[in-house]
Structure 1
Amino acid sequence: MTSLAPPVSIYAPGRTAVEKEIDLTQGLRDGIHIMKLIFENRLNEALTLSKEQYVLTELIEITPQEDMEATIQSLRQTIQLAKKSETYRSWISLTLIGTKQTMGEYELHAKLVYAEALLLRALLMFIQDQGLLSFISGALKIKECHDLFVKLAKYNDPTTFSTQSLHEHFDSGVRMGNGAFNLMIASLPQRITKYLEFAGFSGDKEFGLQELEKSSKSNGIRAPLSALFLLGYHTFAGQILGNGEGDLDKAEQLTKSYLKIYPNVSC
């Protein structure tokens, strides 16, 4: 079954918006291929392919100083595209008793991409500007991401998707998002988590590890990213945060498993 999303406008600097139908299944396949190129350190090929397929801009060289702003701009465009790929529905209307509406696979994938892009943008804001206003703005965006991932988990229903593969890709992303949030929040010093809990955040370390592990063992597009997150936690994050020793055996198992998938990966 071939699924085509409604036409969406893809914008690029200096170009006119073009209406383009996006095949969700093919897009995910391309994403997996591009990710493989990245893991094999074939970055120029990955960049060229992604721009040829999905971006209407010319390839340009940027200096290291421009990397951060270029990344933030790309995330802004991703957020705009994700919004255009869905029919806007207030989360309030989606959760009120008796008024729950059904979202299709495109809307669900769009909201997942939106949540991920918003999270990355918030984290980059912290890195780029560590002032108070940036911290508050970033924290609000992270709170929105956290709420989105929690709500997306409630819509993680295989019957919503036209194929098992589309559900697996969505499932891996939802588990990665919720797992990463829970693990990160639970790993912070207690004096910080008290403030976060007051603001509505809460973290369950074991739940976070379980979700990331399920995602890493899936066939979803975000499985390798979940594996990388787990490897980072088990090998050095625990020691840096001073709240655990990690699990080197699980880290070794993950490494061996993914070396079979990406035998030419560059370290």
Structure 2
Amino acid sequence: MAHVGNGASAEEEEEDCFEDAFDRTPSTCRMDLQTAIQETQCALNLVLNNKFSQALDLLKPWWKDSMYHALGYSSILVMQATMTFEQRDIQAAMATIKETLQTCQRFRKRNSVVGSLSSLISKQTNLQEEEMHAELCYAECLLQKATLTFVQDENMISFIKGGIKIRTSYQIYKDCQNLLSTAQGVAEAI
């Protein structure tokens, strides 16, 4: 039987195999902290120049893998929800905030039972730079979620839930401030 083709050899036909691009960036690729902060600052500048959709487009590819992209992305949606008071925007922002909290949680320090007991005794935990940033991003997300809780439903239970989120956020900020002060004190002693 004769082989009918385009005149290309068998080797050339094998080379023409194309694969589709990923819909989402593979999780093996990680965004480093400095680049994430810089890209989020660029997105903030776009928001301040009234280019919301461009800012969202910049942050969207990494918002489930980078805590700063997630924080920036959800912040824009929260801002939009609080400006419009539309239930659809509020629900979208609330869903995004929940995802952002999960993203930040992945970068936070994991506490074991022994670690929790030792931190109660010594009141000092050593956080890596990325873990400290994750704590701050998590606290900011809690504040945004509290804001949305107040906007979404104006009943007493929502106010209590929002107040608890604000208290938790305040405690995280306070703990980070104490860790920073301790680290600066150690650095000055050296």
> TM above 0.5, one fold?
yes
Cα RMSD for the two superposed structures: 3.0
Letter paired with 1:52: P
Distance in 2 (CA, whole Å) between partners of 1:42 and 1:82 is 26
Residue 123 of structure 2 is aligned to residue 114 of structure 1:
no
Which residue of 2 is the match for residue 25 of structure 1? 34
Q: Contact 1:115/1:149 (CA < 8 Å) preserved in 2? A: yes
SS in 1 for 2:53: helix
Specify which structure has the higher proportion of helix: 2
Q: 2:123 and 2:165 mapped to 1: Cα distance?
A: 27
Structure 2: distance between partners of 1:86 and 1:77: 15
CA contact (8 A) 1:112 1:149 kept: yes
Counterparts in 2 of 1:207-218, with a 5 A limit?
A: none
1:100 aligns with 2:124: yes
Match of 2:170, as an amino acid? H
Q: Is the 8 A contact 2:146 2:165 kept in 1?
A: yes
Task: Indicate yes or no: 2:159 matched with 1:135.
Answer: yes
Q: 1:71 aligns with which of 93, 116, 132?
A: 93
Q: Distance in 1 between matches of 2:167 and 2:183?
A: 29
Task: Find the residue that maps to 1:72 and give its secondary structure.
Answer: helix
Deviation, structure 1 residue 132: 1.6
Point out 4+ residue stretches in structure 1 off by more than 6 angstroms: none
Residue 238 of structure 1 aligns with which residue? none
**Shift of residue 20, structure 1, vs aligned partner:** 4.1
The match for 2:68 is: none
Give per-residue Cα distances to partners, 1:144-169, cap 9 Å, x unaligned. 11111111111225968xxxxxxxxx
Corresponding residue SS for 1:156: helix
Shift of 1:94: 6.9
Structure 2 counterpart of 1:88, which letter? R
Structure 1 residues 196-211: aligned runs within 5 Å: none
The answer to whether the 8 Å contact 1:35/1:46 transfers is: yes
Amino acid at match of 1:143: R
Greater Rg, structure 1 or structure 2? 2
Identity %: 28
Q: Provide the rounded CA distance (Å) in 1 between the counterparts of 2:49 and 2:118.
A: 42
Q: 5+ unaligned residues in a row in structure 1: which ranges?
A: 1-14, 57-62, 161-267
Give the match's secondary structure for 2:166. Answer: helix
Would you say the 8 A contact 1:93–1:100 is kept in 2? no
Residues 52/99 of structure 1: CA separation in 2 closer, same or farther (3 Å cut): closer
Identify if the C-alpha distance between structure 1 residues 135 and 92 changes in structure 2 by more than 3 Å, giving closer, same or farther. Answer: farther
User: Structure 2 length normalisation: TM-score?
Assistant: 0.64
Distance 1:147 1:158, change over 3 A: closer
> Gapped runs of 5+ residues in structure 2?
1-23, 66-83, 185-190
- Aligned counterparts of 2:48 and 2:168: Cα–Cα separation in 1: 30
Corresponding residue number in structure 2 for 1:82: 104
What is aligned with 1:54? 63
Q: 2: CA distance between counterparts of 1:112 and 1:18? A: 23
When structure 1 is superposed on structure 2, of 122-131 and 88-97 the one drifting more is 88-97
In the comparison of the two structures, how many residue pairs are matched? 141
Distance 1:138 1:157 in 2: 29
Flag the 1:148–1:31 CA change in 2: closer, same or farther, 3 A. Answer: same
Q: Distance in 2 between matches of 1:80 and 1:53?
A: 14
Whether contact under 8 Å (1:93, 1:99) holds in the other structure is no
Could you tell me the TM-score, scaled by structure 1's length? 0.47
